[in-house]
Amino acid sequence: MTHKHTVNENLRNIAIIAHVDHGKTTLVDAMFRQSGVFREGQAVDERVMDRMDLERERGITIAAKNCAIQWKGVKINIIDTPGHVDFGGEVERALSMADGAVLLVDASEGPLPQTRFVLNKALEAGLTLIVIINKVDRQDARPGEVLDKIHDLLIDLDATEDQLDFPLLYAIGRDGRAGRTPGDLDDNLHILMDMILGEIPPPKADINQPFQMLVSDLSYSDYIGRLAIGKIYFGRARTQDDLICINAEGKSLPLKISKLQVYQGLSSQNARDVEAGDIVILAGIENVHIGDTICTKEALKALKRITVDEPTVSMKFTRNTSPFSGK
């Protein structure tokens, strides 16, 4: 039997895939400004996605971070993905919260190896794609060739017919402009935001089923302790609810929700209740791990765990055996 409320039309969850320096952060900044997240006159720190100091310094995105904008009454959760391969499970974790992905490629450099890894995971997860060829104002921009390369890459990664038939935009993310042809860009990104609403499916989310969420990420607060971050697959929850966390061994650990937060703009805000489809931050359990399921006592059922790739770099720490040891 299918339920009526199987999608949450007021939500879209998208992951952004881009190589380092292809303009992801400036594009997201412009989406923020144009959706009214920054109040007029508010000091805007450039490159909002790169919030850790190391990332600002090096211009790389390590920890996937989330943020949200509102567009035409719909909340768009934007999930950041690492721009490089060596943070294995981080990519899968970010994508497990998304229903679609925006692939952002530099109009001169084309898709680079790191993009390939994340894109492959997105295709495997069956995410709907939107492609943006960015920085079309570069002197050496070659959008036609780059588009061919993107097609070749998708074919190489065994994309389905649907995934190959992606909607395409050209953009100058820094100026907050996008359009359907490189030579004719609108003065804003409204076409992109409308496309996200039109092309990316809303999350499958039955709010009438018992509560179930998958823990995709963890954080920590000095005030409220360990935080579990993830997408709610079914049902709804409120603060003070008594729930169960099912760990890797299948053990059930009781928890009481001490605080609930959702993404709003660049930060998170407290919420009294949350419902299926949204990405939430939940406090109330100390020994929670990535891949755990949080659900109700009445419906103890674990969601499929996120599996993490083996690390690509390993180190051995041993004692110094060099001839100068101890000198």
Over residues 231-258, the mean pLDDT reads: 89
Q: Is residue 2 one of the residues assigned to a domain?
A: no
The two tokens of residue 281 are 């931050």
Total domains in the chain come to 2
DSSP string spanning 130-190?
EEEEE-TTSTT--HHHHHHHHHHHHHHTT--HHHHS--EEEEEGGGTEEESBTTB--SSSH
Do 228 and 191 share a structural domain?
no
306 assigned to some structural domain: no
Residue in this structure with the two tokens 């053990």, named with its chain if needed? 251
- Whether residue 303 lies inside any domain: the answer is no
The domain spanning residue 291 has which CATH number?
2.40.30.10
Return the SS3 of 272: coil
User: Is 58 among the domain residues?
Assistant: yes
* Domain at 192, CATH number: 3.40.50.300
Let me know if residue 3 belongs to a domain: no
The model carries a pTM of 0.81
pLDDT, the chain, mean? 81
Q: For residue 217, is it within any domain?
A: yes
Say yes or no: 186 and 244 in one domain. no
Tell me, yes or no, whether 84 and 177 share the same domain: yes
Residue at a domain's end among 199, 226, 258: 199
The letter for the amino acid at 147 is L
Beta bridge partners of residue 213, listed in sequence order? 232, 294
- The answer to the question of residue 318 being in a domain is no
**Same domain for 124 and 216?**
no
Distance of CA 184 to the CA centre of its chain: 29
| Residue pLDDT, tens place only, 166-222 | 999 999 988 999 999 998 999 999 999 999 999 999 998 888 899 999 998 888 878
Give the DSSP letter string of 71-107: ETTEEEEEEE--SSTTSHHHHHHHHTT-SEEEEEEET
Q: Are residues 181 and 235 in the same domain?
A: no
Query: Could you read off the pLDDT of 14-47 as tens digits, one per residue?
Result: 999 887 666 677 888 788 888 776 444 444 444 4
Domain boundary among 175, 199, 223: 199
166, 199, 232 — which closes off a domain?
199
Domain containing 61: what range? 11-199
- pLDDT value of residue 51: 46
